[in-house]
């Protein structure tokens, strides 16, 4: 029967700007116990925060909200609560997430941490360095914690990847009953990231984990990265939150009503605009 295992790598010091992350993490993996060091077909999962720290992605921000605004491409949904306003936005990487991925935990006072500049490129650099150092073909996934629509809680997902098939396209194959699969495309990189969150934890200071048993998904460095998992634009069926869709529909209705020049036209425009705003 197929078997998959995952474990965290200890001995990684606090990362600061300018650190050679491939060397620092590589040293920790090399010092791991027998059987825990990377072998052919392993996948190394690295928390995005340590990549951001090594890349010096700290910014001075007396107001975290200003940093979120600066990273925001599009507001998807927002909701006021007792401590302020939660914003779900599309950031410059195309990732839809709360607060644009801006992180203020475990950062120097008066600063926040942004996501890596290009997580796929960071993953490729790490993957190439570790393949050369250990002499084995491995993959790399860069993980970050995301919420999910219609589900409580958060889980880790892939925002960067290299040397890994980020999806397992099963379309055209058959299930156990011989039926053709038409839409089944498991998000392998996200599943791997979520698995390693269980061994890395959120507050244990363990930013790196290794997954073994999924060598069939390890591939060349020129394979599509995690950016290929982003679904925005015309393929996004859930483009706006309810409040944002209503506001956009009202505005479109007002414009169409003004163009019609009479009350009936406004009513027709309002209905048409509202309908269009909530369509994918």
Same structural domain, 48 and 183: yes
Same structural domain, 104 and 33: no
Structure tokens at 124: 């490729």
Q: What is the pLDDT of residues 151-163, one digit of tens each?
A: 999 999 999 999 9
Number of H helices, E strands in the chain: 7, 10
Same structural domain, 132 and 203: yes
Structure tokens at 239: 């483009």
Say how many domains are in the chain: 3
Same structural domain, 140 and 264: no
Q: What is the pLDDT of residues 171-227, one digit of tens each?
A: 888 878 888 878 888 899 999 999 999 999 777 789 999 999 999 999 999 999 999
Tell me, what's the pLDDT at 268? 60
Structure tokens at 108: 């120097």
Tell me, what's the pLDDT at 223? 96
CA 92, 98, 101, 103: dihedral to nearest 10 degrees? 150
What is the span of the domain harbouring residue 91?
58-114
Tell me, what's the pLDDT at 176? 84
More confident residue, 128 or 151: 128
| pLDDT surpasses 80 at 27 | yes
Same structural domain, 18 and 35: yes
Question: Residue 198 maps to which CATH number?
Answer: 3.30.1330.100
Same structural domain, 151 and 205: yes
| pLDDT surpasses 80 at 167 | yes
Same structural domain, 157 and 250: no
More confident residue, 181 or 8: 8
Same structural domain, 120 and 195: yes
Q: Which of these ranges, 68-72, 119-123, 224-228, has the smallest mean pLDDT?
A: 68-72
Tell me, what's the pLDDT at 269? 57
Same structural domain, 121 and 196: yes
Question: Residue 92 maps to which CATH number?
Answer: 3.90.1660.10
Distance, in Å, from the CA atom of 93 to the CA atom of 96, rounded to the nearest integer, reads 9
Pairing label, strands 139-148, 43-47: parallel
Same structural domain, 147 and 211: yes
Residue 76 burial class via C-beta count within 10 angstroms: exposed 0-12, middle 13-18, buried 19 and up? buried
User: What 8-state DSSP symbol labels residue 128?
Assistant: H
């Amino acid at each position: 029967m197929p078997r998959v295992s995952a474990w965290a790598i200890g001995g990684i010091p606090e990362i600061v700007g300018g650190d050679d992350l491939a060397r620092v993490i590589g040293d920790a993996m090399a010092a791991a116990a027998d059987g825990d060091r990377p072998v052919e077909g392993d996948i190394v999962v690295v928390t995005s925060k340590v990549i951001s720290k090594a890349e010096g992605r700290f910014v001075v921000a007396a107001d975290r909200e200003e940093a979120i605004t600066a990273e925001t491409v599009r507001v998807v949904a927002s909701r006021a609560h007792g401590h302020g306003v939660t914003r779900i936005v599309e950031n410059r990487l195309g990732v839809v997430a709360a607060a644009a991925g801006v992180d203020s935990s475990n950062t120097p006072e008066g600063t926040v941490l942004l996501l890596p500049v290009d997580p796929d490129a960071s993953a490729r650099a790490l993957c190439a360095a570790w393949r050369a150092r250990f002499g084995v073909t491995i993959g790399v996934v860069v993980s970050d914690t995301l919420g999910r629509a219609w589900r409580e809680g958060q889980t880790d997902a892939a925002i960067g990847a290299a040397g890994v098939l980020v999806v397992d396209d099963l379309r055209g194959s058959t299930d156990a009953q011989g039926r053709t699969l038409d839409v089944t495309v498991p998000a392998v990189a996200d599943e791997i990231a979520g698995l390693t969150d269980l061994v890395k934890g959120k507050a244990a200071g363990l930013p790196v984990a290794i997954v073994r048993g999924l060598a069939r998904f390890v591939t060349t460095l020129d394979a599509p990265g995690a950016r290929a998992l982003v679904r925005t634009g015309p393929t996004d069926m859930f483009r706006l939150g309810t409040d944002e869709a209503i506001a956009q529909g009202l505005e479109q209705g007002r414009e169409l009503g003004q163009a019609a020049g009479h009350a009936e036209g406004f009513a027709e425009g309002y209905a048409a605009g509202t309908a269009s705003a909530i369509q994918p």
